[in-house]
Structure 1
Amino acid sequence: MNAATGPGRDPADTGRAARRATTTTDEAIALVNAAGAPHDLFGGDAPGTVYRRLARLLHPDLAPGAEATAAFVRLAGLWAARSAPIRPTSTRSAPGPGGAAASDRASSARHGSAGGERGGGPGGERDGETVITTRRGTYRLGGVLRRGATAVLYRTDGDTLVKLPRSPADNDLMRREAETLRTVEREGDPLLLPYVPRLVESFRHRSDGTERQANVISRAPDGFLTLTEISRRRPRLDPRDAAWIWRRLLVAIGTAHRAGIVHGAVFGHHVLVHPIEHGLILVDWSLSVPVGSPLTALVSRHRDDYPPGALAGEPATAALDIRLATRCVAALMGGPDGDTHHLPAPMRAFVRGSLLSPPHDAWRLLAELDELLDDLYGPRKYRPLHL
C-alpha cells in the first residue's frame, strides 16, 4: 500500500479520483502527491485526458505558488515514466507553457556530432541555395534568416535552421551552444523544453578550405517576434502585457538553471515571443556557461547592461540571467526613455529590487511576481498583444 493514499485506502482510489472531474488546483495537488506510481494516475482508459486536466490545473502559467509548481514537475515526471518506462522521451509533442506555437516542430533526429559532412555549403556568409548532406540528414539551405555578430542563421526547406559562425575562431561558441542544448534537454522538464530551441544535430562543415562548426536547430513557428522588434512597434507596453512575457522568461531561464546552465546573454534580440498565442523561446545559447563558471564572451553592444562582476570575470550565477531578464521587461514597460514612473508603485519597487539585488532562484521570483500580479490586477485574463 502506498502510504500517501492513507491507511486502509486502495491506491487505485487515486486513479479513480483523477479520472473524475477534478476542478481545483488543491485537488490536483493532492492527487499528484498521493500517487506512488504512474498507474495510480493514468491507469484508466483515457490517461491523456487525465494528464491534460491535471496539467492545466497545475500549470505554472495558471497556478501560482511553489506547491503547485512542485506538483506540476512531479506530474510531468510521472507522465514521462508512464510514456517511456526505461527513459523519459526526448520528443516534445505535448504542449508546454510557452503555448502550442512554441512546441518544437523540428526533425526528430538524435543529437550529437555528425563527425563531418559532405557536399557543398555556404562559404562564410555566401547566400544562395546549397545542399548539405550529413550522416543524419540533408538540409537544403535557402537565404539568410538573420546575421548576428558571430554567426549566420540560414533557412532550410524544413522546420530547421542551420547556424554557422562567421569566423572559424568562433567554432567554440557553436560547440558550447550544442552542448548546452543537449544538457538542457537531458536534464530539463520535458514540458518546459519548448522554451528553448531544440538541437537537431551538430557537425563540422568544410567549405572553401575552411572548417566551421555547424548547428542545426529548430526554427520558431511563424508569428514569433523578438522583444526588440516588439519595442519598435509598441514603444511602451502595459504592465499586464509585459507580465506574461516576464513570467515565461523566468520559466525559460529557470529551466536552464535547474540543468546547471546560465544563458549569459538575455537581451531583447534573443527573446522570441508570439503576441497572440503567448509563446516564448529564448534563443542563442552560444555564450552560455555552467553555473559557477565565468562568462568567456560578452555581447559587446550590451556591455553596459552586464553587472560589474560579470565584466570582472566573477562566476556567473542564476542572478545574472534574472537581472538581464528584468532589464528586458523594464525596457518593454519603460519605453525608449526607460521611464517607469507610470507603473504602479509596487511594480516599480519590484522591478528595482530585481535589478539591484536579483535573487538566485527564478522560480521563487516567479512566485513573488504572481503574488504581485494578483494583488494589482486580480484573476488573470487573456490579453492579446496587438501590435
Structure 2
Amino acid sequence: MTTSAEAIALVTAARVPGDLFGGDAPKRAYRRLARLLHPDLASGPDAAEAFAKLARLWAAYGGAPEAASGDGPPGAAGGRSAETVITTGRGTYRIGRAFHRGATAVLYDSGADTLLKIPRSHADNDLMRREADALRTIERDGDPLLLPYVPRLVESFRHRSRGVERQANVISRAPEGFVSLAEVARLRPVLDPRDAAWIWRRLLVAIGTAHRAGIVHGAVFGHHVLVHPVDHGLVLVDWSQSVPLGSPLTVLVARHRDDYPREVLEGRPATEATDIRLATRCVAALMGERVPAAIGRFLRGSLLSPPRDAWRLLGELDELLDDLYGPRKYRPLHL
C-alpha cells in the first residue's frame, strides 16, 4: 500500500478495527494509513471521509490519536486540541491549535502575541535556524523605529518530540486584523493604484530595513506579506529562505519559480535588487494591467533595471505619486 487511493479503498472496506489493526504492528498500520490520508496529502471528500473513519476505528481499537506527519503540537498526540506546555530556559509556552500550516513548517498559537513555528520535517531545521539568524541580525542592526515591519524573534530552541529533534522558533504574531496579500487578491482581484501605493511604499521600507542590516528576504510573495487594510500596517513574514547580502539563495518556493529573477535561478549572489524585483512583481499583480501609463513605466523600469537601494526607489515612487495624485489622502482598503 503506497498511495492515498489504496488507503481510501482499504479503510472504506473495513468493518471493524481488526480489519485494519489486526496484525503484529497495529500502531504502525495506523500511522501509515493516517499519513496517506492526511488532509495535507490527500484531497477530496472520499479521503476526508476515510480519514475520519480511520480515527473512529483506531479509537474503537483503543489507540490514542497521533499525528501522521509530525505536524501536531510538539509533544502532544498529533491532531488533538489538547494544550501542550513547553518550558525552556527563557519561558513557558502553552501550545494550542495550529494557526497556519505552510509547506515546510506549522505555526501554533503559543500565547496572546506569539506563535511557535516548527518544521514539518527535521530535515528543514536549517530553515528555522536561518530565519532566527536573520531576525536577530535585523533586530540588532536595523533601525529600531522600523522593526515593526518584520516579526520579532522571541526565542529559538531545539525540541525533541516523538523521538525527533526539531528546531523551533517563537516569533511575534501580527495583531488582529492583518491579512495576507494573497487574501487581499482573492477578495479584491484588482486594486486601485492608490490602494496598492501604500502597500508598495511599506513593502519597500520592510525590505530596505533588512538590506541595511545585510539581509535579503528572498521570498517576497503575497502569502508572506501581511497588511492591515484600515491601519495600513505591514509585516513581512517567513524569513526562512533569507540569506546574507551577496550569498546565493539556496531554497526556492517551488510554486513561485517563474517569479524569481534570472540571477536567482542561475545561482548568482542575491542582492537588494533581488527583493526589489520580487516586491515589484508582488505589487504589480495587485493592480492588474489597467494602471496609469506613468505607473506602468515605473513598474517596468523597476523590473528590468531595479536600483540596489529600496530607499532610493521609495523616493522616486513618492515623487511619481505626488505628480499623479497630489497630497496624500487616507484611503481605507475595503475588502
TM-score per shorter chain, which class?
Answer: 0.7 to 0.9
Query: Which residue of structure 1 lines up, in the alignment, with residue 313 of structure 2?
Result: 365
| Per-residue CA distance 1:30-63 (angstroms, 9 max, x = gap) | xxxxxxxxxxxxxxxxxxxxxxxxxxxxxxxxxx
Query: Which residue of structure 1 lines up, in the alignment, with residue 58 of structure 2?
Result: none
- 2:79 and 2:160 map into 1 onto residues whose CA distance is 14
Asked if the contact 2:96–2:110 (Cα under 8 Å) also holds between the matched residues in 1, the reply is yes
- 1:364 and 1:291 map into 2 onto residues whose CA distance is 18
1:302 maps to which of 239, 256, 275 = 256
- 1:124 and 1:211 map into 2 onto residues whose CA distance is 16
Asked if the contact 1:142–1:154 (Cα under 8 Å) also holds between the matched residues in 2, the reply is yes
Query: Which residue of structure 2 lines up, in the alignment, with residue 353 of structure 1?
Result: 301
Note the C-alpha offset of 1:121: 2.7
- 1:171 and 1:326 map into 2 onto residues whose CA distance is 30
| Per-residue CA distance 1:205-252 (angstroms, 9 max, x = gap) | 100010000000001000000000000011100000000000000000
Query: Which residue of structure 1 lines up, in the alignment, with residue 267 of structure 2?
Result: 313
| Per-residue CA distance 1:77-115 (angstroms, 9 max, x = gap) | xxxxxxxxxxxxxxxxxxxxxxxxxxxxxxxxxxxxxxx
Q: Which amino acid aligns with 1:249?
A: L
Q: Which amino acid aligns with 1:121?
A: P
Q: Which amino acid aligns with 1:215?
A: N
Distance 1:314 1:371, change over 3 A: same
- 1:353 and 1:230 map into 2 onto residues whose CA distance is 25
Q: Which amino acid aligns with 1:159?
A: D
Query: Which residue of structure 1 lines up, in the alignment, with residue 107 of structure 2?
Result: 153
Q: Which amino acid aligns with 1:199?
A: L
Superposition pairs of residues 1-387 of structure 1, within 5 angstroms: 121-122=74-75, 126-128=79-81, 129-334=83-288, 340=289, 342-387=290-335
- 1:259 and 1:219 map into 2 onto residues whose CA distance is 22
Identity %: 77
Q: Equivalent residue of 1:200, what SS?
A: strand
| Per-residue CA distance 1:261-281 (angstroms, 9 max, x = gap) | 000000000000000000000
Unaligned runs of 5+ in 2: 1-72
Moved over 2 A (4+): 120-128
Note the C-alpha offset of 1:154: 0.3
Distance 1:124 1:164, change over 3 A: farther
Q: Equivalent residue of 2:96, what SS?
A: strand
TM-score (norm 1): 0.66
Distance 1:239 1:127, change over 3 A: farther
Asked if the contact 1:127–1:142 (Cα under 8 Å) also holds between the matched residues in 2, the reply is no
Asked if the contact 2:181–2:223 (Cα under 8 Å) also holds between the matched residues in 1, the reply is yes
Asked if the contact 1:245–1:280 (Cα under 8 Å) also holds between the matched residues in 2, the reply is yes
Note the C-alpha offset of 1:124: 9.7
Q: Equivalent residue of 2:97, what SS?
A: strand
Distance 1:368 1:143, change over 3 A: same
- 1:194 and 1:157 map into 2 onto residues whose CA distance is 18
Asked if the contact 2:116–2:168 (Cα under 8 Å) also holds between the matched residues in 1, the reply is yes
* Bigger radius of gyration among the two: 2
- 2:314 and 2:180 map into 1 onto residues whose CA distance is 22
- 1:360 and 1:347 map into 2 onto residues whose CA distance is 20
Asked if the contact 2:76–2:84 (Cα under 8 Å) also holds between the matched residues in 1, the reply is no
Q: Equivalent residue of 2:327, what SS?
A: coil
- 2:235 and 2:141 map into 1 onto residues whose CA distance is 18
Q: Which amino acid aligns with 1:369?
A: L
Note the C-alpha offset of 1:122: 4.1
- 1:127 and 1:215 map into 2 onto residues whose CA distance is 21
- 1:124 and 1:356 map into 2 onto residues whose CA distance is 51
Distance 1:125 1:306, change over 3 A: farther
- 2:285 and 2:306 map into 1 onto residues whose CA distance is 17
Q: Which amino acid aligns with 1:367?
A: G
- 1:279 and 1:179 map into 2 onto residues whose CA distance is 24
Q: Which amino acid aligns with 1:261?
A: I
Query: Which residue of structure 2 lines up, in the alignment, with residue 61 of structure 1?
Result: none
Note the C-alpha offset of 1:158: 2.4
Q: Which amino acid aligns with 2:297?
A: A
- 2:78 and 2:331 map into 1 onto residues whose CA distance is 40
Report how many aligned residue pairs link the two structures. Answer: 262
Unaligned runs of 5+ in 1: 1-119, 335-339
Asked if the contact 2:153–2:172 (Cα under 8 Å) also holds between the matched residues in 1, the reply is yes
